[in-house]
Chains A and B, each alone.
Chain A
Amino acid sequence: MKTNIWNPYERIAGTKALLWGLGLTFIACYFGYLGKIHFDGIMDIHIGKSHPYIIYVSEALINLVSISLFLYLASLILSKSKIRLIDIVGTQAFSRIPLILPAIFGAIFPLEQASAYFLYKYANMGSPVNISTFEIVGFIFFLFSNFLAIIWMIIWMYQAYKVSSNLSGTKAVTSFIISILLAEILSKLSIYFIIKP
């Protein structure tokens, strides 16, 4: 049986998905650490300050716990099936694998200067900066990979939720959107108050 790229959860869930998800997330965090790319919110990718590796891992774990918490609660309330927490957490961890893409681009290309350049040019913030073509190309690659990774991750997160909770239709879509919004708030606040990067 072929694995559907848009819904791998027909084949993988539970502990196996959790181990794959966490393993690749920790690698993404390492690239993030090298390129100062922070995943500071469940759908956030930002170029930030340099911090110890543990901060990047903590941000990733806070994101995973936040989204899993709200999706698990929604599943318990709305689904008639027997929901396993390990399926929700495991599949959500697996869904965050695409974030490795912008993390790799962030580690390869020097983005800080390019970020400052575009902020000054288009938002008139900061001071003027000179950058090379390589830095501009790198920044464009990074932005494109951000966009791709976020879209891919949301599709996987939704499929993961559908399979793990056995919900579909309006119930699934509405509860997923509400859970994402609440998880975004919780993750942002947790990162701000617990880690203070």
Chain B
Amino acid sequence: MITKNLPVSCPSCDSQLRVKSLVCSACDTIIEGQFDLPLLAKMDKKEQDFILSFVKHSGSLKEMAKEMGLSYPSVRNLLDAIINKLNQLEQQPEV
């Protein structure tokens, strides 16, 4: 089965994408508007997976490092990069 990743940035100009419509899969009701993506949805797939893994491991970087086959500081550096990106996204003005 093909996994469809949610695109978060425009393939043409690389700007952040927004949600234009939402559809109810049961009754086909469509809601249209301009909605911002939640902060976590703006991260790319790898970063989202890292955050999920972090939560599942109760925030233990040691456990994550063991599972990922990486050293502790490498995992901590990945986490720091995600924290920086989250801070940047939070500071970006909403369109």
A residues with a Cβ closer than 8 A to B are 1, 9-14, 17, 80-82, 84, 87, 91, 163-164, 166
B residues with a Cβ closer than 8 A to A are 69-74, 76-77, 80
In-complex Cβ contact of B73 among A1, A13, A80 (8 A): A13
**CB distance A163 to B73 under 8 Å?**
yes
**CB distance A166 to B71 under 8 Å?**
no
User: Nearest residue in B to A79 (C-beta to C-beta)?
Assistant: B80
| Inter-chain contact total with CB atoms closer than 8 Å | 41
In-complex Cβ contact of A80 among B69, B74, B80 (8 A): B80
List A contacts of B69 (CB < 8 A): 1, 11
How far is A71 from B73 in the complex, measured between Cα atoms in Å?
15
User: Nearest residue in B to A9 (C-beta to C-beta)?
Assistant: B71
How far is A47 from B73 in the complex, measured between Cα atoms in Å?
37
**Closest approach, in angstroms, between the C-beta of A31 and any C-beta of chain B?**
28
Which 10 A-B residue pairings sit nearest by Cβ, starting from the closest? A13-B71, A166-B77, A87-B73, A10-B74, A163-B73, A81-B80, A13-B73, A164-B73, A1-B69, A14-B72
How far is A89 from B69 in the complex, measured between Cα atoms in Å?
21
**CB distance A11 to B73 under 8 Å?**
no
**CB distance A81 to B77 under 8 Å?**
yes
22 contacts between A and B (CB under 8 A): A1-B69, A9-B71, A10-B70, A10-B71, A11-B70, A11-B71, A12-B71, A13-B72, A13-B74, A14-B73, A80-B80, A81-B76, A82-B76, A87-B71, A87-B72, A87-B73, A91-B73, A163-B77, A164-B73, A166-B76, A166-B77, A166-B80
For B73, B77, B80, which residue has the most chain A Cβ atoms within 10 angstroms?
A: B73
